[in-house]
Structure 1
Amino acid sequence: MSAEPETAGGSPAGRETWLYAQSPRPAGLPVAFRIRGRALEVERMARTDRFPLDRVEAVRLTFETRSFAPAQLTAKLIFEGGRTVKITSVDYTSLVNAKRKDAEYGRFMRELLARIGRYSPGARLLAGRSWPVWAITAVVAVGIVLGLAIVGWQALAQGEPVVALLAIVVAGLGIWQLEPMVRHNKPRTFAPDAPPPALVPPAAP
């Protein structure tokens, strides 16, 4: 389903409902998220949980990569009392098939962040990982790539072109996987009306 406004009855604040649906895990149940007035509703099967948007303490946006699955954008909402909601941009249609829903996710999250800014102006809006986690990830990523580059150089110097080529290929795959995670997850804050485009895709022109 797309993240588009629906028409709903009730007060003027609740006449427009934004819907985003996904299956966040290969073997998980479908989840529907609805922005209805001052609340976020999360529906799983026949159960609906309501999270007031005037009780949001923090939102964290991240970029995640997974083996044998599409990279995904993730939003974690933390509410008063410790309740949390996680929304991602990937929809699993089966155990082995998944598709990215960046456009729908972006439209939904921009509306959700705008309402959080309106109803919880004191909420912390965070993009990327925490500084310690990001720094460790960056150091490990650089170390892996440099280590493989050294292995490749030494293999080439010793007349082992196949080993050198293998090291270069693995290093390239490492850069392809790790570089976006380091770049997009650099810690910073953002305004509710200006989230990072890499983590909340803007609407198509």
Structure 2
Amino acid sequence: MSRKPEPAPSDAALPDAAAREAFAYAQAPRPVGFPVAFRLKGKALEVERMGRVDRLPLERVSEVRLSYEARSLAPGALRTKLRLDDGRTVVFTSISFRSMFDARRQDAEYGRFLRELLRRIAKAAPQARFAAGRPWPIWALISVFAVAIVVALAYFAWQVWLVGETAIAIAAAVIGLVGVWQLEPLVRHNKPRAFAPDDPPETLAPKG
């Protein structure tokens, strides 16, 4: 008895395979300017700006650095910086601006794209260095600066409170609390450490 041929897979079964071949991420990195699109195509990263596409071979990546940056007019941003062996760099963040005062967090999309990018870099460039946080000298400077600001504001608030300037003391205390709110994650997330590309810190590479 002849065997019936198996039906060809439908288009509905293809999205997962297609997604493995080309992951994409887009953001508007500045309040004024054009969006930037990033696409993973096999062993290359394509970066499109204003219609121009640059193709960067992943085997040329020498360092990947994940970090956190505070924004005065926007939520804190997660940041990825790729350094290639020819000195070129590529940067993208988890924030996309819609206008001067409207910035949207894209943590899920950012994390999904970043984790796939790390996986492909590790495969294409096993010599690449994977680092989280800021370099030690910069992180130490940020930490000292943050502590100095908070201590100075607390001391000032206490001194003006003692002489009866209650309104000024409260204002200084509020400014100090805002400073802690801004600076604490900057210090905590940016502590220097290495990481494995298959297990990046979730605080800097959210799981999508």
Q: 2:88 is aligned with what amino acid?
A: R
Unmatched 5+ stretches in structure 1: 9-14
In our comparison, the structure showing a higher alpha carbon Rg is 2
What TM-score does the superposition give when structure 1 sets the normalisation length? 0.91
1:147 to 152, 156, 173: 152
SS in structure 2 at match of 1:7: helix
Q: Say whether residues 1:178 and 2:197 are aligned partners.
A: no
Alpha-carbon separation, structure 1, partners of 2:120 and 2:21:
12
Are the aligned partners of 1:6 and 1:18 in contact in 2 as well (CA < 8 Å)?
A: no
Alpha-carbon separation, structure 2, partners of 1:69 and 1:126:
25
Q: 2:138 is aligned with what amino acid?
A: V
Alpha-carbon separation, structure 1, partners of 2:138 and 2:207:
27
**Aligned counterparts, 1:98-109, within 5 A:** 98-109=103-114
Give the aligned CA root-mean-square deviation in angstroms.
1.5
1:7 is displaced (CA, Å) by 2.5
1:37 to 36, 42, 58: 42
Alpha-carbon separation, structure 2, partners of 1:89 and 1:6:
25
Are the aligned partners of 1:6 and 1:17 in contact in 2 as well (CA < 8 Å)?
A: no
1:16 is displaced (CA, Å) by 1.5
Question: Match for residue 56 of structure 1?
Answer: 61
Q: Percent identical across equivalent pairs?
A: 56
Question: What is the CA deviation profile of residues 12-57 of structure 1, one whole-angstrom value per residue up to 9, with x for unaligned ones?
Answer: xxx7200101111111211110011000000112211001011110
> Greater strand share, 1 or 2?
1
Alpha-carbon separation, structure 1, partners of 2:17 and 2:98:
24
Q: 1:167 is aligned with what amino acid?
A: A
Unmatched 5+ stretches in structure 2: 1-14
Aligned length: 194
Q: Say whether residues 1:80 and 2:89 are aligned partners.
A: no
What TM-score does the superposition give when structure 2 sets the normalisation length? 0.89
Alpha-carbon separation, structure 2, partners of 1:22 and 1:89:
8
Q: Say whether residues 1:114 and 2:119 are aligned partners.
A: yes
Q: 1:22 is aligned with what amino acid?
A: Q
Question: Match for residue 203 of structure 2?
Answer: 198
Q: Say whether residues 1:7 and 2:12 are aligned partners.
A: no
Question: Match for residue 11 of structure 1?
Answer: none
Question: What is the CA deviation profile of residues 65-91 of structure 1, one whole-angstrom value per residue up to 9, with x for unaligned ones?
Answer: 111112111100001111111011111
1:96 is displaced (CA, Å) by 2.5
